Structure 1
């Protein structure tokens, strides 16, 4: 597969965003909702100016068609960020989210009423087994931290649910693209602008959090917002150039890259369950996308006498 500039942009933007988010959550875990709101606000403001030309350009996709997509996207994004405040390690967070491939396959098969291919099924089993091992290895076992264990259980449950909602988000996005054409910048704007009024209910918490954050936190938040915009924009652009299978594969590799960066920079000591789980996720991803069969194929040379 040719590595395009868009693919490189996805890796750079998304890995930088995840790296900065981990620093923020390690020092100010209660700022998750504030960071999410500011990300949505910045992307909406940029889209209003650039995409809609200050509101003078109407949407190519009817606003009513965005309701389900926006609901799924908003719930998935907010829930994933909120998990950081529930004492779920970032390494486990990224490993669980790497199971997006089997989740997408499950949702697709249920909706389309089609059986998966054998390599998809085997890959999904391997990925699911890897995620289960990572969950087991990431659970706190200290008897004095029962409250922490409860939060961990809630956080993991939320992550598993968002795998399903995220899969439905991709399915709905694919349906809109096939029906109305591909308009990534427009979709990027409306999926972030429409949910903004929901944050009004969180305004007391957002204001109280903003009031206590130091200057260093605001610098990190600003960098995170820019990198998240770069990441999200690159992913939407990639979706117009590659198939959904290729996009999912690239995003899975990106998550493993983020996991590697987190392990090296933050010195997160992975135990044996994390190591085996990560290996199973990696092998399962290769099997899922039929990587090994592709490697065995060789071009046939025709020799003439």
Structure 2
């Protein structure tokens, strides 16, 4: 996770507005792997109908698109993490409203503790930095006459809502058609690729910018591969590992359990990075960590 964050930070510094390119590249990478090793070049019959995957692929695409554009809207990193942790509550709401799932008071309280703990720890770690909105986002703000920050909040809210609904849809799919995690990962990424034509100009600009970065150097020699593309390929591999594990987990347990695991993973990544870089921990960090720890134990019924 730290390696992926480091590479991701590097590529966004080298190539402005590169997140859509990164998302597309990851989709292509996952699709090629699935096409070769799972689909055997379309010779293996699908276990789940394409029409089912189409709905999930559309949701998947727009969740990523909203998150990518929200980053351009001067959204502070802590707020981004807090919105992500809010997916736990959103998952409970959608599970109850759409599928009639009933959650115990213990589960709801545990989710509130974990969400609150992540929010407290994240806010305590925040250090204000000057930032400028991306040109495209600034133009959007001027066109809509809405402050860029509120556009970012709206995009994060849409992404949060769609992500929770996506989790419910995946849960339904596995319940009806069986648990085919590898096929699902391959098909969802494959079917989402054509949708990137909607942001084609943005991706083309980022592609040329990445291709014009200085070549990487090895043993004192300049290689042909631009440094930005080296970072992009590294991110694809690490993303594949994460996506593969999440898809396998999604097929094994409920959407709420998956969301809890992902939220805890993000918190641990934040906590480890904070400790590794020798940042001073204060009472709010400890309080947030205790909330997350106690909430996790309650959720797992260890308490």
Return the TM-score normalized by structure 1. 0.76
Residue-by-residue CA offset, 1:88-122 (whole Å, 9 max, x unaligned)? 23344233312222111111011123543112332
Between Structure 1 and Structure 2, how many residues are aligned?
277
Of residues 233-242 and 27-36 in structure 1, the stretch that sits farther from structure 2 once superposed is 233-242
Residue 278 of structure 1 deviates from its aligned partner by: 4.2
SS of the aligned residue for 1:294 comes to coil
Q: How does 1:75-86 map to 2 (within 5 A)?
A: 75-86=62-73
In structure 2, do the counterparts of structure 1 residues 210 and 188 end up closer, same or farther at CA, with 3 Å as the change threshold? same
Residue-by-residue CA offset, 1:207-234 (whole Å, 9 max, x unaligned)? 2212122132221111001111111112
Structure 1 alignment gaps of length 5 or more? 1-13, 296-305
Q: Tell me what 1:40 maps to.
A: 27
Q: Which of 164, 169, 172 matches 2:169? A: 172
Residue-by-residue CA offset, 1:47-95 (whole Å, 9 max, x unaligned)? 1111111111221101111122111111112222333222323344233
SS of the aligned residue for 1:195 comes to helix
Residue 29 of structure 1 deviates from its aligned partner by: 4.0
Q: Tell me what 1:299 maps to.
A: none
Q: Could you tell me how far apart the structure 2 residues matched to 1:270 and 1:210 are?
A: 40
CA-based RMSD of the aligned residues comes to 3.5
Q: How does 1:287-298 map to 2 (within 5 A)?
A: 289=299, 291=300, 293-295=301-303
Q: Could you tell me how far apart the structure 1 residues matched to 2:242 and 2:41 are?
A: 23
SS of the aligned residue for 2:245 comes to helix
In structure 2, do the counterparts of structure 1 residues 96 and 27 end up closer, same or farther at CA, with 3 Å as the change threshold? farther
Q: Could you tell me how far apart the structure 2 residues matched to 1:262 and 1:137 are?
A: 11
Return the TM-score normalized by structure 2. 0.76
Q: Tell me what 1:286 maps to.
A: 296
Q: How does 1:37-116 map to 2 (within 5 A)?
A: 37-116=24-103
Residue 26 of structure 1 deviates from its aligned partner by: 4.5
Is 1:122–1:284's contact at 8 Å kept on the other side of the alignment? Answer: no
Q: Tell me what 1:301 maps to.
A: none
Q: Could you tell me how far apart the structure 2 residues matched to 1:153 and 1:269 are?
A: 32
Residue 15 of structure 1 deviates from its aligned partner by: 5.2
Q: How does 1:9-20 map to 2 (within 5 A)?
A: 14=1, 16-20=3-7
SS of the aligned residue for 1:56 comes to coil
Q: Tell me what 1:258 maps to.
A: 269
Larger helix share, 1 or 2: 1
SS of the aligned residue for 2:247 comes to helix
SS of the aligned residue for 1:55 comes to coil
In structure 2, do the counterparts of structure 1 residues 89 and 272 end up closer, same or farther at CA, with 3 Å as the change threshold? farther
Of residues 65-74 and 183-192 in structure 1, the stretch that sits farther from structure 2 once superposed is 65-74
Residue-by-residue CA offset, 1:160-195 (whole Å, 9 max, x unaligned)? 332221111111111111111111111111111111
Q: Tell me what 1:5 maps to.
A: none
Q: Could you tell me how far apart the structure 1 residues matched to 2:180 and 2:278 are?
A: 41
Is 1:99–1:163's contact at 8 Å kept on the other side of the alignment? Answer: yes
SS of the aligned residue for 1:237 comes to helix
Q: Could you tell me how far apart the structure 2 residues matched to 1:278 and 1:156 are?
A: 23
Q: Which of 88, 99, 105 matches 1:118? A: 105
Confirm whether residue 25 of structure 1 aligns to residue 12 of structure 2. Answer: yes
Q: Which of 224, 235, 238 matches 1:227? A: 238
Residue 242 of structure 1 deviates from its aligned partner by: 4.4
SS of the aligned residue for 1:80 comes to helix
Is 1:108–1:171's contact at 8 Å kept on the other side of the alignment? Answer: yes
Confirm whether residue 237 of structure 1 aligns to residue 237 of structure 2. Answer: no
In structure 2, do the counterparts of structure 1 residues 257 and 283 end up closer, same or farther at CA, with 3 Å as the change threshold? closer
